[in-house]
Amino acid sequence: MSAWRLAGGLAAVGAAGLAYAHLETKLFTLRRVTVPVLEAGERDLRVLHVSDLHLVPTQRRKIEWVRSLAALEPDLVIDTGDNLAHPDALGPLLHALEPLLDVPGAFVLGSNDYYSPTPKNPARYLLPDARGPIRNVPDLPWEAMTDAMIDAGWVDLTNRRDDLVVRGHRIALVGVDDPHLDRDEFPATSVGDPAALRLGVTHAPYTRVLDQMHDDGADAIIAGHTHGGQLCLPFYGALVTNCDVDRRRARGLHGWPGARPDEPGGEDSTWLHVSAGAGTSPYAPVRFACRPEATLITFTAR
């Protein structure tokens, strides 16, 4: 085979891979996991975890898919941020979330709730923690978004604690602002009534925050940000996580800091769920071997 034919073949394979990676951004998937942390006799609690929508106004398929998640009839919704990717996306976002805003919920913010995405050198994606320069003035409507979520009854966990009672379960919640922007300030420990479930919520699963939530006694920690790696290799997984958590925990259900609590060696671990999220930056609209997702987490008795 001549060098020209080989080069042409490689170019065709690359083009086909890129076309599929763009298509995969629209192959929305619902994951289901079960987390056995409740006391014996407690009723199951169904929590819908949505993350990293990175919504722009023209993404009608994504909007309708998010609206359809209300048919799952979750007991609680947890939104781990990066909802916006365009200054005009607030109306479409609230339309997408409208059926879910009728359900009890809680949320934290990510960098793309404050700052719109910018074009970047694609090679920066391969850096382990590809943070860009932090801008001084947010240009996305994060305050209006936060107000709308609070007005609907969702709990703001931005560097704070709160409680919810859902289906008779008292849930103790603790959250932080986006660690990827170094905005996290872990709230002081408080003594409250016993809770059936203690949840830690963060946008980016940086190890310092996971350690704080583990030490705080969380039964489970819920995070997003990583996009599951966004570009993954079969049998290898994520190339990077865009934070300091390890690649193995780029998405899915794990334990922290060790094995899962239901596995040998995981007796002192906290359950950790990391969502691969449902979107991408509009400047990098590709996914490979890492479909966009939301997760229905069923908390059940041990």
What strand order describes the sheet that includes 45-50? Answer: 29-38, 293-301, 45-50, 76-79, 105-107, 155-156
Domain residue limits at 72: 3-301
pLDDT of residue 137: 85
The pLDDT value given to residue 3: 52
* pTM: predicted TM-score of the whole model, two decimal places: 0.92
User: Which residue bears the tokens 């109306």?
Assistant: 91
Rounded Cα distance between 283 and 117, Å, is: 8
Which pLDDT does position 11 carry in this prediction?
A: 42
Per-residue pLDDT at 120: 73
Nearest to 108 by CA among 147, 62, 61, 155: 155
For residue 210, give the amino acid letter: L
Q: 252-264 burial string, b = 16+ CB within 10 Å, else e?
A: bbbbbebebbeee
**Residues in the chain, pLDDT under 50:** 6-15
Tell me how many domains the chain contains. Answer: 1
HEC secondary structure over 180-229:
HHCCCCCCCCCCCCCCCEEEEECCCCCHHHHHHHHHCCCCEEEECCCHHH
| Segment 103-154, tens digit of pLDDT | 999 999 999 999 999 887 655 666 666 665 566 789 999 999 999 999 999 9
Contact by Cβ (8 Å): 78, 222: yes
Q: What residues form DSSP beta bridges with 74?
A: none
The predicted-structure confidence for 169-180, as pLDDT tens digits, reads as follows: 899 999 999 999
Instruction: Say which CATH number the domain at 82 has.
Output: 3.60.21
